[in-house]
Amino acid sequence: MTPLRRLLKTRTNILVGGIIVGLMTATAIFAPWLAPYHPVDDANLIYALDPPSRQFLFGADSQGRDILSRVIYGARISLSVGLISQGINSLIGVILGLTAGFFGRWWDDLVMGLTNIMLSIPSLIFALAIVALLGPGLLNVFIALGFTNWSYSCRITRSQVLSARSLEYVQAARALGYGRFRLMFTQILPNVLGPILVIATLGVAGAILLEASLSFLGLGVQPPTPSWGSMLSQARDQLFTAPWVSIFPGLAIFVTVLGLNLLGDGLRDLLDPHTSRQQR
């Protein structure tokens, strides 16, 4: 791939992904002003399973609630779960990976052993076990997903630190008398944030899918709170008789995850020098 084509592809992915993520974020923030109806209180069985129309652009569900309003409010749940849980994952992974790569020895062996154990357990199974232990609910979803995917950030951070700690600017900081923690957090960490940012962006998409899976199984956000996963779960019985009940929440998940993946892919191409050299 020529440098020009690679640059155009990278800019396109970042632009399209950024627009999608920006629109979804704005939808979540301004949900009370964008939603035409209240997602829970405005229920009327007279309109149960009404198809899309001028009154209900996305149709109505089995309780006569506006699906568009519930999809809009569902963006708040999905994005907040994705951002907060991935923030926790990134914090844990970066601290463990940074210290493991810098200090090495027994601490590196311990962290890498724990990371390998976490990588051997499917994320959904681990999250299911935590939620089954703590019980369903939004707070427990935050806890379950916040301690599920830190191993990826940990491995990436450790590998970057191992490469960076022998570079000249680190050696110069050592010669100037920088302490260990000052060296880690002021010299090494700012210079390895690129790959970590990419992993975090992709991790938000994964967390949204995990939250939707838990809610679909009835272990996530509990009705009547609007969540894309729980909306899909409630629409299973109307999959063929009223397909619009499941189509629009599914599209919301698809578009949001697609936007985050495009943004992460574009950031990877932009920030990762190894990928850039391979594509030339």
Q: What is the pLDDT along the chain (280 residues), one digit of tens a residue?
A: 555 465 566 788 888 889 999 999 999 999 999 999 999 888 888 988 889 999 999 999 989 999 999 999 999 998 998 899 999 999 999 999 999 988 888 999 999 999 999 888 888 888 888 888 888 888 888 888 888 888 889 999 998 888 887 777 777 877 777 777 888 888 888 888 888 888 888 889 999 999 898 888 888 888 888 889 889 988 888 888 899 999 999 999 999 999 999 888 888 777 665 444 444 4
Rounded Cα distance between 164 and 73, Å, is 43
CATH architecture of the region 19-26+67-279: Orthogonal Bundle (1.10)
CA distance 211 to 220: 7
CB 246 within 8 Å of CB 97: no
- Token digits of residue 201: 């962006």
How much is the pLDDT for 278? 46
- Regarding pTM above 0.75, the answer is yes
Q: 172 near 140, Cβ under 8 Å?
A: no
Whole-angstrom CA distances from 124 to 42, 103, 149 are 34, 32, 10
For residue 106 the two structure tokens come to 């027994």
pLDDT at 275: 46
pLDDT, position 66: 93
End-to-end CA distance of the chain: 5
Q: Where are the alpha helices (DSSP H) in the chain?
A: 3-29, 31-34, 67-103, 105-120, 123-134, 138-146, 150-164, 168-175, 180-183, 189-191, 193-216, 228-234, 244-271, 273-279
Measured over all CA atoms, what is the biggest interatomic distance in the chain, rounded to whole angstroms? 77
Q: Rounded to whole angstroms, what are the CA distances from 53 to 38, 49, 63, 183, 252?
A: 18, 11, 17, 61, 19
